[in-house]
Amino acid sequence: MRFKDKTALVIGGNSGIGLSTAKGLSEEGAKVYITGRNPDTLAAAEQDIPGLKAFQADMADLDGLTPVLDVIREETGRIDALFVNAGIGTFINVRDVTPEIWDQVHNVNLRGAFFTTQAALPLMGKGGSIVITGSIGSTLGMPGNVIYSSAKAGLRAMARILAVELVKDGIRVNVVSPGPIETPLINRNVGMDPSEVDGLRQVMISGVPMHRMGEPEEVARAALFLASEEASFITGIDMFVDGGSLELR
């Protein structure tokens, strides 16, 4: 019960890693709020996780977080654990990148992540923890991944600055960076035809020393650790959950 009597907000908590983390937070005692774009998966999460409250919001919409923050402010008055997890992917050749696709991805994965975190800060204080979902793509040079990787590299730099600025307030900031994980995100790559997804999956697996995709729960366990008091002397790190994809290549 690491999160007993704590308030947690999971951005992008209606599927994949975010949903697994929301379940873990709830099972360990937290009052959990989530956001997401899909009303059906949000409703399913509310049905599945006792006490959870779900709000429809797009992280690219800078005003989209206002309703959930207003409710948290009224009901608990604070956020103890913030998990900024929402994101979209894309695989596209450098020569085919357009400003529109670039902005679509960065508006969520980098710009949206920063301003979402900024908006939540007034509800956070000493003992608070922010965990941000990065990616091994921030470090790994993978063909076709220029837009996504550059956004995640920016996110890693952003988290480092947040960590150094917020440490005086007693707020820790860390990144959890998944490798290839079997989540709905793999089916939502901007500009990629659905018929290409299985080929992408096989390419990803070929680069994993464990020879498999990871599961959302495996990343969620790392996120829960970083969010908890067990990680009370840890801030500013990037924890890779990638089956050895970076370390053992």
Determine whether 178 is exposed, middle or buried from the number of CB atoms within 10 Å of its CB (0-12, 13-18, 19+): buried
- Among 123, 214, 116, 125, CA closest to 159: 116
From the candidates 33, 83, 114, 148, which is the catalytic residue?
148
Q: How crowded is residue 187: how many other Cβ atoms within 10 Å of its Cβ?
A: 12
Bridge partners of 31, per DSSP, are 7
Coil, helix or strand at residue 90:
strand
Is the CB of residue 61 less than 8 Å from the CB of residue 91? no
Query: Can you tell me the distance from the alpha carbon of 239 to that of 223, in angstroms, rounded to the nearest whole number?
Result: 9
Angle value at C-alpha 8, between 158 and 170, nearest 5 degrees = 55
* 33 belongs to the catalytic site: no
Q: How far apart are CA 53 and CA 35, in angstroms?
A: 9
List residues with catalytic annotation. 148
